[in-house]
A and B are shown apart, each in its own frame.
Chain A
Amino acid sequence: MAEEKNKRLVMIASKGSMDMAYIPLIVGSTAAAMEMEVAIFFTFYGLDIINKNKYKSLGVAPLANPASPMPVPNIIGVLPGMTMMATTMMKSWMGKQNVATIPEMLKMCQDVGVRMIGCQMTMDVMGVKKEDLIDGVEIGGAATMLDFAADSDISFHI
């Protein structure tokens, strides 16, 4: 398909839980492997996915999540330690199916050339510095993302 223009995919990753981190990373790396041009804009809580200090410890919400791996009532889910328990349970399920971890998925995204953009405004609001982000990511604002999105064929908000 060399003579055709590559398809383009843009995603806005705005959630910082482990399950919501997998989606842009799996879809993004696969799209790049399908020879699409891919950019992911990490904004608000989604910035944690590319934050060196946080991406290894993203959690799964046991609260207000009827599909939580730990099917307990919200009144129990609110107790200390429940987020960790739900996260551990999800990680164990993922491990049994040999699903790549979030750090491994990030590495794969970089290997296949997914463009990752950290939201400048979120960084300012949350006090995140460029050196807090994993290597190889760009920093930009809405215009940077929209410049890429304007010529995109597919767009997702996660």
Chain B
Amino acid sequence: MSGESDKTLDCKGLSCPEPVLKTKMAMNDMQPGQVLEMVATDPGSANDIPAWARRTGNQIVESKEEGGVWTFRIKKS
């Protein structure tokens, strides 16, 4: 990932719904404008994390998939 992140969250190996729940919990402790970098191996996360971000008004600034690992950088609104 190219940009800076304020916090990282490893959800590798976790299944639905934990990546979304842990992302939410991690974002709770952050300030608006800060960026969380989360990684997941659950293929559902590819759609779930963007859906969660849309619904909660947070912004995905970068996302990628590499060898079954999804990485999202999410900016807190």
Chain A residues within CB distance 8 Å of chain B? 1-2, 26, 29-30, 33-35, 97-100, 108, 111-112
Contact of B25 with A30 in the complex, beta carbons under 8 Å:
no
Pairwise interchain contact B18-A33, C-beta atoms closer than 8 A? no
Contact: A99 with B55, CB < 8 Å?
A: no
CA distance A97 to B42 in the complex (A): 9
* Across-interface contacts of B21 in A (CB, < 8 A): 29-30, 33, 108, 111-112
For the residues of A in contact with B, the DSSP-based class is: loop
Total contacting residues, chain B, CB less than 8 A: 16
Q: Give the total number of A-B pairs whose CB atoms are below 8 A apart.
A: 45
Q: Which residues of B contact A (CB under 8 A)?
A: 13-18, 20-21, 23-25, 51-52, 55-57
Are B17 and A26 touching (Cβ within 8 A)?
yes
Question: Is there contact, CB below 8 Å, between B16 and A26?
Answer: yes
* Minimum CB distance partner of A4 in chain B: B57
A33 touches B14 (CB 8 A): no
For A7, the closest partner residue in chain B by CB is B55
* A29 x B17 contact (CB < 8 A): yes
On whether the beta carbons of A98 and B14 are closer than 8 Å, the reply is yes
Given A33-B24, A111-B25, A112-B24, A1–B56 Cβ distance below 8 Å? yes
A35 touches B55 (CB 8 A): yes
